[in-house]
Structure 1
């Protein structure tokens, strides 16, 4: 290994005293490869074992906590006890080579797909009309759809569902969970003034819903798991919608989150070097601001457009992130981390080759999604 990369291979101890073997994280990525009922398939076991083998922390694809929250075809489920047997196999595959294995627990909210939810029912913090999303199943195109306001009783049921999902994850033998509070899904929606226009106790600016989910997860973990169970939280710092989540609002959220018994925070960025869009902090590094506001109270995972070893190093050397998550870069090359460690960083495959279905060793459905342009990645042509 070249000396300049040594920092990326230093261990990191989380607040709960668990030590990660290096600073690389397998990001939670949609793979559209679970069975139709949400149970784990052999295809995804092979896919995730290859991409977990060299990282310190491995996070599974977003897994729905209730069928009404399903946002992708081929999405894993952590909603039922019947999911546990498959989840046990997933945990074993992810942990096989020393990574700490986590499940990202998720509810799509307004982004759930009517073609996948019971009776086409979709809920969000407030009533909203949604435009059709790019189809995750190329043979089926969803039409524009109406989303109804979730009731107070359903809010409380959903919070409990996050807790039950956590229990399933614990019984399956995982090392922890990541709460998905980013990317315009339900928890994010409750924080967003665009999606959440409620005037009751569940309004956006007191963060009651995400905090209630955290408290439920922590309570369940205390009852069923050991003290070394990892709990992380992912968030999006800014959104394009107006009125939407601003950096100012994110600062308030982070000041609240760092008071919770979490083990890390995970900022969702399309580019780890991205700048703030507007407002008081316009033009400043999102990652730097977030790290400054966390004030070393929790480790931060940074992510976004990391396709080469140099991309990872540049993000890490800012000093604004303790951990580097690999998303689409490790889709393209599951040996991304191993090649850096072995002194072969220049051999990393950093472009998608549509003429080589075998090159990236991806599940067939996921390969087709990359080939069809559903996910923006560098391409050979």
Structure 2
């Protein structure tokens, strides 16, 4: 049985001091020019130092990849001073700092993009209220995006982060290329399952190539994915397991599943007897570590999640109680704060669409 205090060796040999992680959560605390704010530094500083791994909220790799205002930018060297300060802040007491990067694709809107139409693999709107029809990306633009993922990785290395996580989940651009709903292309980027995987493979291989070229073998590269989508057409768990098998053969250091609850099962009859997490874990078969996430609040939840993963990520818990990890590691479980007094708190929206509160002295938050 895995213990939460055990060290974890990633594929590249980097050692995490325990099996606990803080997942990427949207705070919308960056300035409108995508730079790091003092409140953002304070937010991360309050919560770091005890978990083995801390993954930031997402940073967009080019201007039209922004998903919302108040989001980190990593598309220009001008962001390096702020990102360096953020990396240094997180890297306390041996916690590894990982910068999550993405392109939002059609999950953005023209208001967020200052009048520019969102882009996507195909001109098909997302199935959510108020979604705009995106413009289909040209082949040249797709190649430029791949180069921008690579450039963002270079900046993360220069800023002092221990790694990056490619955000291939939650209907953003990497996800969109894999989805038969958002990708209706009939060229080398779409059509068959293999062709819908092409963009993901090019980005992964490009980023891994950057790490080799810069000779930073201890730099972590992870990939986050969604196990299924509920659109019609959409990919199901079977196609995801195909993707996971492909990614597990890459030189990635970990995979990170995106779930609202760690033990959630699918309604597909063929895969109804186990949780999606268990199916993914068995498909990986020890080739690289898997991060579980979703509704993990207690020591018992961590133990259950670690049955079918190698690292457990706790999000809402550490938003409510910044010392969640310190208390759990010290055996002071009864002291963990589970609810908050609303007085003098500010509302934050986090990445899975739920809400939490956080104490800030000078908050400058935009709540959607």
User: Shared fold by TM > 0.5?
Assistant: yes
1:24-78, CA deviations, whole angstroms, 9 ceiling, x for partnerless residues?
A: 1110110100111111111111111222221101111111001111112200001
Contact between 1:70 and 1:113, CA under 8 Å: does it hold in 2?
Answer: no
Summarize the alignment of residues 66-215 of structure 1 with structure 2, pairs less than 5 Å apart.
66-130=62-126, 143-203=130-190, 205-206=193-194, 207-215=197-205
Match of 2:293 in 1: 303
Aligned-partner SS, 1:296: coil
Match of 1:334 in 2: 322
Shift of 1:132: 6.2
TM-score (norm 1): 0.88
Unaligned runs of 5+ in 1: 134-142, 359-363
Aligned length: 353
Cα 1:272–1:244 shift into 2, 3 Å = same
Q: What is the distance in 1 between the residues matched to 2:128 and 2:285?
A: 40
TM-score (norm 2): 0.91
1:195-236, CA deviations, whole angstroms, 9 ceiling, x for partnerless residues?
A: 111111101611100100001101111122411111100000
Q: What is the distance in 1 between the residues matched to 2:171 and 2:253?
A: 23
Shift of 1:306: 1.3
Contact between 1:132 and 1:145, CA under 8 Å: does it hold in 2?
Answer: no
1:2-24, CA deviations, whole angstroms, 9 ceiling, x for partnerless residues?
A: xx9x8101111111111000001
1:321-355, CA deviations, whole angstroms, 9 ceiling, x for partnerless residues?
A: 0000111221111111111122211221223x352
The answer to whether 1:236 aligns with 2:226 is: yes
Q: What is the distance in 2 between the residues matched to 1:191 and 1:86?
A: 33
1:174-213, CA deviations, whole angstroms, 9 ceiling, x for partnerless residues?
A: 1110010001100001111111111111016111001000
The answer to whether 1:286 aligns with 2:273 is: no
The equivalent position to 1:28 in structure 2, one of 24, 42, 57, is 24
Q: What is the distance in 2 between the residues matched to 1:225 and 1:113?
A: 38
Aligned-partner SS, 2:21: strand
Q: What is the distance in 1 between the residues matched to 2:3 and 2:341?
A: 34
- Greater displacement, 9-18 / 275-284: 275-284
Q: What is the distance in 1 between the residues matched to 2:78 and 2:349?
A: 29
Q: CA RMSD in A?
A: 1.9
